[in-house]
Structure 1
Amino acid sequence: MTTTEIRPFRIEIPQAELDDLHSRLANARWPEQLPGDGWSRGVPVEYLRELAEYWRDGFDWRAQEARLNTFPQFVTTIDGIDVHFLHARSGNPDALPLLLTHGWPNSVVQFVELIPQLTERGFDVVVPHVPGFGFSGKPPETGFGVAQVGRMWAELMRRLGYERYGVQGGDLGVYVSQETAKADPDRVVGVHLDSGVGLPTEDLLPELNEEERGLYDQMQQWASLGVDHHMLLRHYPQTMAFGWNDSPIGLLAWLLQKFHEFTFAVPVPDDAIDRDLLLTNISLYWFTQSAGSSSWLMYNSVKFVWPSGQKAAPTGLYSGPPGIRRLAELQNDISQWSTDNPGSGHFIAMEKPEALAADIATFFDSLA
């Protein structure tokens, strides 16, 4: 085996691991509901208990596993770390390849609805698991960062034989997509994002006009709704990982808390995202034991910072507000700033995949 070999991969979770998950769910020790309305104290016991029962008795992992396996999958080793990725070809001989990077706490499951939308529009699609997530290897030491992932993605696309390609992402995917463009400026033709652009840093606050201040206040209001997971994972990722790795109820509660904050326009996450899709993502975290290792971005940081931006390639944004275009253009070459797209959640690929695919296609068609 050469160090650049690309090996076929197929998801096959042993039945013993499924049985163990079901046993742990059946034998969970439930806390009492604390005083307070709705989600004011965290995930409501009644809601989580009903979802846990569905995870045990109604959710069909094997069906979801088969669905994931409809996408050709591979593993290759880059910088000593195994990178697992989906590779869906469109059949279009002139296809523009698109590399999609998922966010946290997500996985390649983020894009299972989006991929067919893109291949039908004539794109080849590559979706890797970021190291530390899913079936990719885990960073072996501290100091691993998004710039290294960007260089790994450039090498992945080189191994696949792509001379030019686009990148897309939201959440963590914004950071990685921008770093990929910086690492591979001669081949990345465009960067399409769905969050994290045009957000004011503290030094820019005095320069905001009245309209921009209103948008900033919206951002602050949203940020105040949830727990600062960056702070928590910066200090105690190992401590939290004991619970996530040993208790599926603990993992379910943690990830549902975050998805609740990321789907702030609806009462519960599965009002915005199909619950089978949510549970597929959570199951993947459980089976790969990656809840702790997936938090490397936070624990390797000193403080939270917005993506730094890049001008190596044009940038398109799915939906402008609450970002501020004037600020986005300080660090990015903005060529598309959509303001009328549907959906207001954080993981738009899971909520509105058709609309996102249309916006992606419009952006990259404009660069042709």
Structure 2
Amino acid sequence: MRTATSIDVVDHDRRRLLRGALAITVAGAAGLLPAYPGVAAGGDAIRPFRVNVPEEDLAELRRRVLATRWPDRETVNDQSQGIPLAKIKPLIAYWGTGYDWRKAEAKLNALPQFMTEIDGVDIHFIHVRSKHPDALPVIITHGWPGSVFENLKVIGPLTDPTAHGGHAEDAFDVIIPSMPGYGFSGKPTDTGWGPDRIARAWAELMKRLGYTRYVAQGGDWGSPVSSAMARLAPAGLLGIHINLPAIVPPEIAAVLAVGGPAPAGLSEKERATFDAFIAAAKMGNRTYAAMMGSRPQTIGYAITDSPAGLAAWMLGHPGFTHWTYDSSDPEKSPDEVLDDVTLYWLTNSAVSSARLYWEYDGGRSPAFAAGEKTAEISLPVAITVFPGESYRAPETWARRAYRNLMYFHEVDKGGHFAAWEQPELFSTELRAAFKPLRAAK
């Protein structure tokens, strides 16, 4: 039974944070809020939102960071035991002494942000309209341990393509929601919030924004969510683009489950992908998913109590493996990394975000075609393969998995966080992938 008391306990930290957000009165909002024809009075309201974290929360974070109790160093010279002490310690020191969250706030507050309640949960989202007419709306879904921060750099290239090597007819309206349990979105207090339910919420959001034609994009968790949208085929959805496709055939998945050996008859690219999955399993690259998929509450006590523990847990994700946290690389700088980690800390969303793995059949891999029910997807699907992804999808497997694969392209740069790492290239890919759908009725 959901009581007011239980909700207050579960959501106390988020409410405390949101109480610090800059209030916008109804009268003041009248001139700021765009006309949303899909919005009715009452519970469907779309409210403007700005971030303003209380200073005492930032002071408490710095205090905890500087009081970190460190373990001894690892006994190997690689990352097989986890993120090396020598790699994370300077980042944590900077977090406690030099990092400025207010700059991250400014990035968010420079954009139109909103809240709306869908299916009993507040959904935070960024909504940037293009100045170009007939822009194609795209809803972009982040993953874990990502957030809306991972998609901020594609807003400019997508909404204003003429300033980024594109043409006016390439323009998008961009909608970037925070998934339930992530960032400034509300935390579900009931079960069932897996990719399908999020997909239905996103369809409702696009309807509420007044869009009758749109596309969806996602990597990491955004891929299962976007794929669920394509499978459910809500009114108005024209197609999807994903960069973590579910391409592993059932017979290959069965062999991977027992650790090989590789079946005969694989092509060179198929064998390389098979070997990548075997190597990742031996390295324990998805151990985090197994833990959060089975005991999110248990790991949550540690990563909710220790900022350094939260950072180490998040940065142990394979998508961060090659990140150097070097200020000379703006897509992988200490500030870029800490913006994301700090958002999780300030919103106390370590556990609420981890529960998505528990909902997703114990944290199974999203790479398997059968698990993602790709055979049920009839809408057009586009795939971009980035070389630094945890596996490179072979086109043969992709075409077998997605019967309406309209676009497949392998690029030469970028990794798991493609929009974050290569925003211009990522945006170019979306323009090309969705071009055939712009004239669809």
Q: TM-score, normalised by structure 2?
A: 0.78
The correspondence of residues 26-175 of structure 1 with structure 2, limited to 5 A, is: 26-121=66-161, 122-175=171-224
Q: In structure 1, the residue corresponding to 2:275 is in which secondary structure?
A: helix
Structure 1 residue 191, shift from structure 2 partner:
0.4
Distance 1:69 1:312 in 2: 38
Report if aligned partners of 2:131, 2:160 keep a CA contact under 8 Å in 1. Answer: no
Q: Does 1:2 align with 2:51?
A: no
Tell me the distance in 1 between the aligned counterparts of 2:271 and 2:324: 29
Partners of 2:226 and 2:344 lie apart in 1 by 23
Q: Shift in Å at residue 46 of structure 1?
A: 2.4
Deviation at 1:227, TM superposition (A): 4.4
| Distance across 2 between alignment mates of 1:123 and 1:33 | 48
Number of residue-to-residue matches in the alignment = 364
In 1, Cα distance between equivalents of 2:250 and 2:354: 23
Confirm whether residue 253 of structure 1 aligns to residue 253 of structure 2: no
Q: Where does residue 34 of structure 2 map in the other structure?
A: none
CA deviations on 1:154-206 (whole Å, 9 max, x unpaired) are 00000000010010010110011111223344311120111123223345665
Find out whether 1:216 has 2:274 as its counterpart.
yes
Q: For residue 240 of structure 1, what is the amino acid of its counterpart?
A: I
C-alpha distance after superposition, 1:115-143 (max 9, x if no partner): 11211122110000110111111121223
Given residue 116 of structure 2, which amino acid in structure 1 is its aligned partner?
T
CA contact (8 A) 2:233 2:379 kept: no
Give the match's secondary structure for 1:357: helix
Identify unmatched segments of 5+ residues in structure 1. Answer: none
Instruction: Report the secondary structure of 2:316's partner residue.
Output: helix
- Report the CA distance shift for 1:51/1:215 in structure 2 as closer, same or farther (over 3 A): same
Q: Report which of the two structures shows the higher radius of gyration computed on alpha carbons.
A: 2
- Structure 1 residues 221-266: Cα deviation after superposition (integer angstroms, max 9, x where no partner): 24443242221112221111111111101111111111xx2144x3
What is the aligned-residue RMSD (CA, Å)?
2.0
- Residue of 418, 424, 434 corresponding to 1:354: 424
- CA 1:126/1:218 → structure 2, altered by over 3 Å: closer, same or farther? same
Structure 2: gaps (5+ residues): 1-40, 162-170, 256-262, 367-371
TM-score of the pair, normalised by structure 1: 0.93
What residue in structure 2 maps to residue 364 of structure 1? 434
- Matching residue within 317, 321, 329 for 2:383: 317
Residue type at the aligned position of 2:177:
P
Deviation at 1:269, TM superposition (A): 5.6
Structure 2 CA distance for aligned equivalents of residues 62 and 256 of structure 1: 22
8 Å CA contact retained: 2:324, 2:333: no
Match for 1:336: what amino acid?
A: Y
Q: What is the CA deviation profile of residues 23-61 of structure 1, one whole-angstrom value per residue up to 9, with x for unaligned ones?
A: 111111222213221423222222222101111222111
CA distance in 2, matches of 1:292, 1:76: 22
Residue 358 (structure 2) aligns with: 299
Percent of aligned positions that are identical? 37
Distance 1:96 1:172 in 2: 23
Query: Are residue 229 (structure 1) and residue 288 (structure 2) matched?
Result: yes
Q: Secondary structure at the match of 2:124?
A: strand
Distance 2:156 2:194 in 1: 30
CA displacement, residues 268-324 of structure 1 (integer Å, 9 cap, x when unaligned): 465662321111010000000001110122112334143332533211111277212
| 1:329 and 2:399 are equivalent in the alignment | yes
Instruction: Check conservation: 2:249, 2:401, Cα contact below 8 A.
Output: no
The amino acid across from 1:209 in the alignment is L
Counterparts of residues 272-287 of structure 1 (less than 5 Å): 273-287=332-346
